[in-house]
Each structure stands twice: as structure tokens, then as C-alpha cells.
């Protein structure tokens, strides 16, 4: 990743892609997150997880989402920050405790606000991929993005 | 909260509501979460947050989502766990570091699977409310719910 200048509404182009750095998971991280926020057997205990929907230990989807956010902060350098108005999330396959994740974000739509001329809503699709390039999460976010301060 | 029996697809009824316990936040929790997953000034530093979109320190929306999940695990006791196939999230107002949150979940739709007769998709709307009863997050989740084991 090269260091990037902060981006404002005027800088964004539909179709532009922003790849992130990688984040390497391990069971220490996934179990700690699950203990605090999502204490269900398939996120906590490898033995108990075997007989479940996930057929083995899986990270909480909310952990995948949180790591995705961490990777977005450095890879989509919006001048006013990453501010989500609304999002859609799917988890097509589980994130496993030994996965290495990265995120590829693409600008899908840019809609200048009619009522507030200093900003717009930008739709960004962010795919969170594992080390095999398989999609563990699809996030579509509507972000509030400001124009460059005058 | 009374202790509840595990719920299966057959037990669920459209319109049924499941209130959660409360979770009391503080700046220690919100800043720690933001440092790990969402390190942006409006989540980290009260002084820096003043001049931002949020007009003061706000919790990461992903922290609100993670706490919501924690409250759901105990308040919506599904027999096979809470397994989200896809979700929509909005944050109509910021969660503040001194908020006390609770969640009210309502069953919106129940769709038995045509291809897999042992399960269905249940749509649940979960509102995360602060101590004033204001909605900080609206989550609509499509959950995979199994029939009672035979």
C-alpha cells in the first residue's frame, strides 16, 4: 500500500478499486471476540463446533465485519472518515480461525445530495476474501462523503 | 429475563417480541473497541470528535452491532444458535459512550425452506435502543432456523 491523499466526493469515480492490507487471524483472536460478543459453541470450542451448521470452529460474522472495518480505515482514506449510513452484509462462507483476510472495495454508485450540497452518498461494495480468494463476506455500504473543504 | 426453552422453527410466530437485558457502555469500552477495529478520530478522542460529523465521541457502529449480538444470544434462544444468512443495518443516531443499550427483537417473517425441509429462514428485526428509548441501530437479519430435532 502506498500512502494515499485523503479522498473527497470530487475525487471518487465509479468502478475505482481499493485493495486493503492483510489481516491474519488465529483461534486466540476469534475465540476472544466470540467470548465477548458472540458466545455460541461454534465460535468457542472446536470439539463442540464439529456437529454444528459450520462443521468446525468459525469466526463470528461480526468479527469478520469488524476486521473488515479495520482494513477499510487504511485502504479507503476518505477525508471525513468512513461514515456508514446503512449497510447490507452477507456471509457466503465461514471465516475460519486460521484465515488470512483482505478486502477489495469498489465504488458502485455516487449520488450527490440534493438537500446538502457539501456532501453525497457513495455506495461501496467491499468483499472480504480469504487466502484462497474465496469471499467470506460481502458488504455493501452507503457512506456519507463530504466535498473537499473550500 | 426468565430462562427460556430453546426455540425451533415450529415454535416461532410472526409478531412475537423478545426483549433483551441491558448493556451499559463507557468510554473505556468504546475507545478500546475503536482502537482495535475502527480507529477514527470521532471514536477515539472526545476533543477531536467535536468538530466531526458526530459532534462528539461516538461508539463505532460495529461496536453497537457486536453488543447487539451479545444481547441477542441470551434473548433469542434459538436451539441451533443465531446464524445469520444476510443482514441489513442502519444507524439512525450515534451510540454515545455513556449509553445503556437494550435490544427488542420481533419476528417479521417465517419462510420454510422448499429444498431443505428441516429448516427455514426467519426474518427478525432487532432495534437497539438507548436509555431514552431512541433507536441507535436497526438490524434486519435473515436467520437459518432448524426444525425441532425429531
pLDDT per residue as tens digits for the range B82-133: 999 899 999 999 999 999 999 999 999 999 999 999 999 999 999 999 999 9
Report the candidate in A99, A132, A105, A134 with the shortest Cα–Cα distance to residue A23: A99
- Residues in chain A closer than 8 A to B41 (CB atoms): 81
Rg (C-alpha) for chain B, rounded Å, is 17
Confidence of residue A14 (pLDDT cuts 50, 70, 90): very high
Residue B54, by phi and psi: left (phi above 0), alpha (psi -120 to 50) or beta?
alpha
Is A49 within 8 Å of A42 (Cβ atoms)?
Answer: yes
- Establish if B80 touches chain A: CB-CB under 8 angstroms: yes
Alpha-carbon gap, residue B68 to B139, rounded angstroms: 9
**Chain B: residue nearest A67 by CA?**
B37
The CA-atom distances, in angstroms, between A92 and each of A27, A127, A145, B117, B150 are 20, 11, 28, 21, 28
- Establish if A60 touches chain B: CB-CB under 8 angstroms: yes
Is A64 within 8 Å of A95 (Cβ atoms)?
Answer: yes
Instruction: Please report whether residue B36 resides in a domain.
Output: yes
Q: What residues contact A145, with CB distance under 8 A and at least 6 apart? A: A7, A8, A9, A12, A78, A80, A119, A120, A121, A122
Report the candidate in A60, A141, A129, A142 with the shortest Cα–Cα distance to residue A99: A129
Lookup result for grid cell 459532534: B55
Rounded average pLDDT over A90-116: 97
- Establish if A86 touches chain B: CB-CB under 8 angstroms: yes
CATH number at residue A110: 3.10.129.10
Rounded average pLDDT over A110-132: 97
Instruction: Please report whether residue A4 resides in a domain.
Output: no
Instruction: Please report whether residue B117 resides in a domain.
Output: yes
Report the candidate in B44, B38, B105, B114 with the shortest Cα–Cα distance to residue B78: B105
Q: What was the pLDDT predicted at B81? A: 94
The pTM assigned to this predicted structure is 0.96
Lookup result for grid cell 443499550: B101
Q: How far is B110 from chain A (nearest CA, A)?
A: 19
Percent of chain A at pLDDT exceeding 90: 93
ipTM for the predicted complex: 0.95
Domain residue limits at B84: 9-146
Is A69 within 8 Å of A87 (Cβ atoms)?
Answer: no
Identify which of A41, A73, A90 has the shortest CB distance to residue B40: A73
Sequence-ordered alpha helix ranges (H) in chain A: 27-37, 41-44, 46-49, 61-75
Instruction: Please report whether residue A47 resides in a domain.
Output: yes
The tally of domains found in chain B comes to: 1
Q: What was the pLDDT predicted at B56? A: 96
Distance of CA B51 to the CA centre of its chain: 29
Confidence of residue A65 (pLDDT cuts 50, 70, 90): very high
Report the candidate in B30, B21, B51 with the shortest Cα–Cα distance to residue B96: B30
Instruction: Please report whether residue A3 resides in a domain.
Output: no
Contact A53 B81 (CB under 8 A): yes
Instruction: Please report whether residue A13 resides in a domain.
Output: yes
Distance of CA A29 to the CA centre of its chain: 17
Instruction: Please report whether residue B16 resides in a domain.
Output: yes
- Establish if B119 touches chain A: CB-CB under 8 angstroms: no
Q: Is the pLDDT of residue A1 over 80?
A: no
Interface of B with A in 22-51 (CB under 8 A): 33, 36-42
Residue A4, judged by CB atoms within 10 A of its CB (0-12, 13-18, 19+), counts as exposed
Q: What was the pLDDT predicted at A105? A: 98
Report the candidate in B73, B5, B146, B66 with the shortest Cα–Cα distance to residue A53: B146
Is B140 within 8 Å of B123 (Cβ atoms)?
Answer: yes
Alpha-carbon gap, residue A123 to A62, rounded angstroms: 21
Contact B91 A84 (CB under 8 A): yes
β B17-24/A17-24 pair status:
unpaired
Lookup result for grid cell 465509479: A14
- Residues in chain B closer than 8 A to A38 (CB atoms): 66, 69-70, 73
The partner residues of A149 in beta bridges, in order of sequence, read none
Contact A38 B85 (CB under 8 A): no
Q: Is the pLDDT of residue B1 over 90?
A: no
Contact B90 A91 (CB under 8 A): no
Instruction: Please report whether residue B2 resides in a domain.
Output: no
Amino acid at each position: 500500500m502506498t500512502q494515499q491523499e485523503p479522498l473527497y466526493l470530487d475525487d471518487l469515480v465509479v468502478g475505482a478499486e481499493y485493495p486493503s492490507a492483510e489481516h491474519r487471524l488465529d483461534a486466540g483472536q476469534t475465540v476472544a471476540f466470540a467470548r465477548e460478543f458472540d458466545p455460541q459453541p461454534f465460535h468457542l470450542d472446536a470439539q463442540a463446533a464439529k456437529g454444528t451448521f459450520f462443521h468446525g470452529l468459525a469466526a463470528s460474522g461480526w468479527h469478520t465485519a469488524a476486521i473488515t472495518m479495520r482494513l477499510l480505515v487504511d485502504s479507503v482514506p476518505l477525508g471525513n472518515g468512513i461514515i456508514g449510513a446503512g449497510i447490507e452484509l452477507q456471509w457466503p462462507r465461514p471465516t475460519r480461525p486460521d484465515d488470512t483476510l483482505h478486502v477489495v472495495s469498489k465504488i458502485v454508485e455516487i449520488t450527490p445530495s440534493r438537500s446538502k450540497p457539501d456532501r453525497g452518498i457513495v455506495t461501496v461494495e467491499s468483499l472480504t476474501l480469504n487466502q484462497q480468494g474465496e469471499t467470506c463476506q460481502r458488504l455493501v455500504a452507503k457512506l456519507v462523503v463530504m466535498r473537499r473543504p473550500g
